[in-house]
Amino acid sequence: MTTVATKQEDVAAVAHLLRRAGFGATRDQIDQYAARGYEATVEELLNPRYGEPEDQDLMDRYFIASVEARSPGHADPQWAWRLATSEKPLEEKIALFWHGLFAVGGVKLDHGLEMLTEIDLFRRAGLGSFRTILFEISRNPGMMYWLDNQNSHKDAPNENYGRELLELFSMGIDDLGGGAYKEDDVKAAARAFTGWASKPTPPPFFLGPFPMEFRFDPSDHDGAEKSFLGKTGNFNGEDIIDIIVSERATARFIAKRLYLFFVSDEPDEGEIERLADCFQETGGDIRSILRSLFNSDHFKSAAVRFRKVKSPAELVFGAARLTDRFEIPDMDSSTLANYALFMGQHLLNPPSVEGWHEGEEWVDSGSLLERINFAASEVGRRTSPGVTRMLRRVESAGSDLQPGEFVEACLDALGAIDLSQRSKAVLIEHAAQDGPVLSGTPDGAERTIEMFQLIVSTPDYQYC
Amino acid sequence: MGLENFSYSHTIGIASFQGRGFMNPVDVRLDSTGLLFVLSRSNAGNKDVRISAQTLDSEYLYEFGRWGTEPGQTTQPTAIAIDKDDRIYATDEFMHNVTVFNREGQFVDRWGEFGTGPGQFDRPSGIAIDSEGNIHVVDHLNARVQKLTPDGGFISSFGASGTAPGQFNFPWGISIDRADGIWIADWRNDRIQRFTKTGEFVSTLGSSGRANGQFDRPSGVHVSADGEVFVADWRNDRVQAFSEDGAHIETLTGDATLSKWCQEFLDVNPEQASWRENAGLFEQEKRFWRPSAVETSADGLVLIADSCRHRIQIYRHAHAAVPV
């Protein structure tokens, strides 16, 4: 028998899943997913059908400069639209994950078109084999340019890509990584990737940008014998990737990064080891690892709910999705990425090859103000379809809501979210000042909107 | 294989955020004196929109209608039309209105507002003027074409949302032929629709696809004084020419050479010229990238707004005399 409490827990679990595997969802969407069941929802999220979205033509039509995006700023409207409206939230979330891990910055690669191509690589391959992802990013012309591999020659290898490949993209230097590879391995990797580069393109200043392409120059490739991580052979870049992917350190590194991105800002070593095992058992299949992660008791537990600081992208696009106000691309949708920028996350332009420092570092006094102002402004859009539905949902909770009931109804309408008892007490006290809330009245709607805005202004709302 | 009915003439343009050059030119029109007006759409957020005036031999003259919401400014302009007195009418999808400029670019009038009623718009896009001076506006998201007086007074309208004959799905471009017949680029239905001057459906041209006579989101349609129909086949990156009765004549995919402005830029930036030489993408440089509008001149020129390459590619009709 399904009890009310069980149903509430099902809804809360699915809401948690959608906040982590996506950017949150409206209360109606949560109900729809919950009706299908938690594990079915996990499968749906993990198996998006890759392809050009049906509204890509509209995006291109209204924002023609983003079709030939010469800079990350010109490309912003494209990704912002997807982040705000995609019905395949994990496809965008995993793209955001890899974008932070394989960080290519617009400061040097000032080529919005290539940035969008790279994001699409992550959509297409991001839930598949890590080996494939690593191979594709190693042939990504933007990455080759960003890490100077076009300057890596047979007679004079540039170690930049080989070093970051090991340190930041696969094995890491923390934990086990400190002893997992040596300086000689970096040098061998650099030699193996000589000849991997991007084709030159004409400068964008007079005709706009041209699509970048990968180029392998066999005459500039060092095909001689190399020793790498204890193995010896005439390795090329692909061989290096195969060896890297088979290492336990790589399994742990990727497991940890996935854990920190999807589960909690505080690592749980036992859970990370379990995910690393899954990585090795499945040959580095990201979909399998995430399935194991999302279906674990650890992920579903209260211990990790609302314990992860929302990134600016999660906050901005989560709030925008709540309002459900973007039917077709418009000026507002094109500027959404700017708000994430104001909060410290310049999408398509991470600050360095290390990507963003996440967790508590997202929030300082300046960014907190931006976060609160933006979220409060979004949930205050009373004519937007999403806010209208939220108002109706609060009204349907009862015609004469006591302060505690009123706060709970508002939290539920905002996507089955929860707050600390302390925050709730403050909100209930505030609601009590004006007595019961009479639903369906102008005053009731006014107070409900105000409560939405107060909720998204709490410290708790900064967590997902 | 060479072109049979057209020959490439020259290209005007260079990517530029202001002044000489264009930034995503989406429409191109000639005035009665042969002066070339180009509408640069850009991204509204980057505020590089403008209408610029230049001669056909690349002499830049002036610009107007830059970004803003005040009278005489534009925010998301989509199309322009020029009347017999050389006044320029520009539609704006963000402000849902039409701004009128004189030939020198000075503000004359502005009319229209957001809405679904007569004389109101929801993202007005294509605009054209008939022989009697009436203004026809493609009222894009209202899926209709409105006929208005030069000062915005409502006269009539036709069209509805849908896929049936006479209905529209995100229509964009418009052209008025020599008999005041109305041609609409029915963008998301991948077809051109022809109507009488009073809005009665006549015929359809094209279907979805890449073959000759098929389209992928046609953005612009233009009927020349000789009755030839040019379609900016936007997502197929080409322009197709048809006879007035719909027979396919020729497909243009772009033949651009360096414009005078580009050549001057490279002459004073030898490092950039060297990069270009190293890249060697000369064939790719020639091709259209999202051509969005076509204009013709009385003496046989065909001008194509090559929106993602920031230039106007100009062809000459094979039967037209080449000026000495």
Average pLDDT over residues B200-206: 98
Give the integer Cα–Cα distance in Å for A185 and A117: 30
Searching chain B, which residue's CA lies closest to the CA of residue A205? B15
Q: What is the mean pLDDT of chain B?
A: 96
**Helix H or strand E segment including A424:** helix A421-432
Contact B235 A204 (CB under 8 A): no
Angle at A444 between CA A443 and CA A449, to 5 degrees: 100
Give the other-Cβ count within 10 Å of A443's Cβ: 10
Tokens of A251: 């399994």
Range A219-242 burial, b when 16+ CB lie within 10 A, else e: ebbbeeebebbeeeeebbbeebbe
Tell me what pLDDT residue B47 has: 80
Provide the pLDDT confidence category of residue B40 given band limits of 50, 70 and 90. very high
Per-residue pLDDT, averaged over A271-300, amounts to: 98
Give the residue-averaged pLDDT of A82-97. 97
pLDDT tens, residue by residue, B149-174 = 999 999 999 999 999 999 999 999 99
Using beta carbons and an 8 Å cutoff, which residues of B are at the interface with A? 14-15, 23-24, 26, 41-46, 75-76, 93-94, 141, 170, 172, 187-188, 217, 219, 235, 261-262, 265-266, 269, 272, 275-276, 278-279, 281, 284-285, 289-290, 292, 307-311
Contact B309 A208 (CB under 8 A): yes
Measuring CA to CA, which residue among A424, A391, A384, A385 is closest to residue A405? A424
Per-residue pLDDT, averaged over B45-55, amounts to 90
Pick A67's closest partner by Cβ from B75, B188, B308.
B308
Residue A150, phi then psi, degrees to nearest 5 = -70, -15
Interatomic CA distance for residues A172 and B88, integer angstroms: 62
Residue A396: CB atoms within 10 Å: 12
Confidence class of residue A437 from pLDDT cuts 50, 70 and 90? confident
* CA separation for the pair B224, A274 (Å, rounded): 70
Return the percentage of chain A with pLDDT > 90, whole number. 89
How confident is residue A107, by pLDDT bands cut at 50, 70 and 90? confident
Give the distance from residue B84's alpha carbon to the nearest chain A alpha carbon, in angstroms: 30
Q: Give me the phi and psi of A329, to 5 degrees please.
A: -55, 140
Confidence of residue A124 (pLDDT cuts 50, 70, 90): very high
Q: Do A67 and B279 touch (CB under 8 A)?
A: no
**Subunit contact B272:A206, Cβ cutoff 8 A:** yes
Chain B residue at shortest CA distance from A208: B309
Q: What is the DSSP letter of B22?
A: B
pLDDT at A441 exceeding the cut of 90: no
Which residues are within 8 A (CB) of B6 and not within 5 positions of it... i.e. 6 or more apart? B241, B250, B252, B302, B315, B316, B317, B318
Q: Give the mean model confidence (pLDDT) for residues B193-200.
A: 98
Please state, in angstroms and as integers, the Cα–Cα distance from residue B176 to each residue in B129, B185, B195, following that order: 7, 12, 10
pLDDT of residue A177: 47
Q: What are the residue boundaries of the structural domains of chain A, listed by start? A: 129-264+266-304, 385-462
A&B contacts, CB < 8 Å: 98
* CB–CB contact B43 A74 (8 Å): yes
pLDDT at B44 over 70: no
Percent of chain B residues past pLDDT 90, beyond the cut: 95
**Band of pLDDT at residue A112, cut at 50, 70 and 90:** very high
**Given this model, what pLDDT does residue B319 score?**
76
* Residue pLDDT, tens place only, A137-177: 999 999 999 999 999 999 999 999 999 999 999 999 865 44
CA A343 vs. chain centroid, Å, equals 15
Backbone angles phi, psi at A453, to 5 degrees: -70, -35
Q: For residue B62, give every residue at least 6 positions away whose Cβ sits within 8 Å of its Cβ, in sequence order, or none.
A: B52, B53, B104, B105
ipTM of the complex: 0.95
Least trusted range by pLDDT, from A4-13, A311-320, A334-343, B145-154: A4-13
CB < 8 Å to B75, chain A: 331
pLDDT tens by residue, B246-301: 999 999 999 999 999 999 999 999 999 999 999 999 999 999 999 999 999 999 99
To the nearest whole Å, the CA of B25 is away from the closest chain A CA by 9
Angle at B128 between CA B143 and CA B20, to 5 degrees: 110
Q: Cα separation of B93 and A409, whole Å?
A: 39
Q: How confident is the model at residue B111 (pLDDT cuts 50, 70, 90)?
A: very high
**Per-residue model confidence (pLDDT) at position B39:** 98
Per-residue confidence (pLDDT) for residue A174, from 0 to 100: 64
Contact B76 A77 (CB under 8 A): no
